[in-house]
Amino acid sequence: MKAMSFSPANHCNLKLQKNPIKQPILANPTHFNSHQNQKPSNKKHQFPSFSIKASKTPQTPLTKNPDTPPLVVVGSANADIYVEIDRLPKEGETISAKTGQTLAGGKGANQAACGAKLSYPTYFVGQVGEDAHGRLITEALKNGGVNLDCVRNLSDAPTGHAVVMLQPDGQNSIIIVGGANMSCWPEKLSDEDLEVVRKAGVVLLQREIPDLVNIQVAKRRPKDLLAQAARSAGVPVILDAGGMDAPMPPELLNAVDIFSPNESELARLTRMSTESFEQIGHAVVKCHKMVSLDTPIIKCFVCVRYEGVKQVLVKLGAKGSALFIEGEKPIKQPIISAARVLDTTGAGDTFTAAFAVALVEGKTKEECMRFAAAAASLCVQVKGAIPSMPDRPSVLHLLQTV
C-alpha cells in the first residue's frame, strides 16, 4: 500500500467537550463462557469461547463487566472514496474507474471499529466536520458499538477524506486529505480531556493526527515512582506508524510501549533497507537505540537523549509479521492464508487493533500475533475498511481451523 497525505494548517481554537465518561459498551449482546479482563501478563491463556444472540436490528450494546478497562483509540476518521481501477494512471493520463463509492474509514476509526467488532469495549477520540462525511463515519462507528463520547464535531474544518485507488489484485494506493484530523486540536489537552485515556486498558495511536496530540496522550504516565516502576502493568500505548510522511519525533517514540510500522514505514523512518529479515532486524535496532532517527534535543542547556522504543511490531504484508523485543529473540508470525484477497485496505489497522485486544485480555505475545493474523486474513476478503472488520466468532473459528 502506498499513501500520501495532505493537511491544512490549524486555523482555529477549540475547547474539547467535557462529556462525562460513560461505562464502556460492546457492539452486540455477547455471552462469554470465559473472558480475561485484566492487564497484559506473561501467563498463558486460551482464547475465550462464547455464544452470541443474533439480532437483525441495532441494539443498545451491553458489557459483561462495567469495570473492564476499555480500548481507547485516539486518531483519525476519514471518508474513504473508493475507485476500482485496472491499473494506476500514468503521468498526465486520465482513466475511467469501474466503480466508485464512499465508505467510513481512517486509521483511527478503522481500529476503533475493529476493537468493537471483536467484542471489546472501545472508545474513539477524534474529530470530524459538521458535514455528510462526518455523519457517515459517526453512524458507522455508533452502529458498530464504539463509544463516541469523545468525538468532536468541528464547524470550521471538513471531515478528513481519502481517495483509495483499488486494483484487481486487492492492492491499493491512497491519497489522504487531513481535514478535521489535523485541524483545531488544542495545544494542550487538559486532565479532564484525558480522563478516558487514564482509565484505558490499552491505547492505540496513529500518525494521521498531529504528533503533538499523540505525545500528550502517550505521556499520560502515573507520576508516583511506585507506579512508574510498575509501568509494564500500567496502560500500554501502541503507536501505528501509518500516516504522515515526516520524521518521527523522538519524544513520541520514547513515550510509547510498542511501535508498529510496516516494512516501507520502517525503511523510511530509519533510512535503512528492509528488503530482508536481517535488514529489518538492523532497522529495528535503530528504533531501540534511537540512533540517527533524530538528533539529541537541547533544553535549558541540557542535552536530552531519548532511549527509543523497546518493542517493535513490524507488519510484513504477505510475509506475515514479527515482534522484536530488545534483548530477546524475534517472534515471527506467518500469514494465515486468505481464500481470496479482494481489498487490503484496513488490513494493517485490523492487525494492530486485534493485537491490542488480545494483549489487554492477557494473552501471550505469540497468541496476540496469531489472533491478529487471523483477523487480518478475514479483513482482506471483504471490500472496504470498516465493513471488512471481522467479528470475534469469525476470528476464533478461523483459529480453530488452521
Residue 316's region, left for phi above 0, alpha for psi from -120 to 50, else beta, is alpha
Residue 262 annotated in ligand binding: yes
Residue 349 annotated in ligand binding: yes
Residue 317 annotated in ligand binding: yes
CA distance 151 to 3: 25
- Selecting among 193, 211, 349, 391, the annotated active-site residue is 349
Q: What is the 3-state secondary structure (H, E, C) of 275-290?
A: CCHHHHHHHHHHHHHC
Residue 109 annotated in ligand binding: yes
CA distance 361 to 21: 22
Beta-carbon contacts of residue 170 (< 8 Å; ≥ 6 apart)? 341, 342, 343, 344, 380
CA distance 267 to 261: 9
Residue 239 annotated in ligand binding: no
Residue 79 annotated in ligand binding: yes
Catalytic (active site) residue 245: no
Residue 384 annotated in ligand binding: yes
Residue 318 annotated in ligand binding: yes
The three three-digit cell numbers of residue 160, written as one number: 478528513
Residue 110 annotated in ligand binding: yes
Residue 108 annotated in ligand binding: yes
Residue 80 annotated in ligand binding: yes
Beta-carbon contacts of residue 224 (< 8 Å; ≥ 6 apart)? none
Residue 184 annotated in ligand binding: no
CA distance 316 to 347: 11
Residue 257 annotated in ligand binding: no
Rg (the chain; Cα; Å): 20
Residue 192 annotated in ligand binding: no
Residue 234 annotated in ligand binding: no
Q: Where are the alpha helices (DSSP H) in 290-364?
A: 347-360
Beta-carbon contacts of residue 222 (< 8 Å; ≥ 6 apart)? 228, 234
Evaluate whether 200 touches 371 at the Cβ level (below 8 Å).
no
The three three-digit cell numbers of residue 7, written as one number: 493537511
Residue 170 annotated in ligand binding: no
The number of C-alpha atoms within 13 Å of 152 and in the hemisphere containing its C-beta is 24
The number of C-alpha atoms within 13 Å of 80 and in the hemisphere containing its C-beta is 28
Residue 179 annotated in ligand binding: no
The three three-digit cell numbers of residue 242, written as one number: 501509518
Give binding residues for substrate as ranges: 78-80, 106-110, 208, 349
> Binding site for ATP, residues?
262, 315-320, 348-349
Q: What are the binding residues for K(+)?
A: 343, 345, 379, 382, 384, 388
Q: State the catalytic residues.
A: 349
Q: Please report, in range form, the residues annotated as the binding site.
A: 78-80, 106-110, 208, 262, 315-320, 343, 345, 348-349, 379, 382, 384, 388
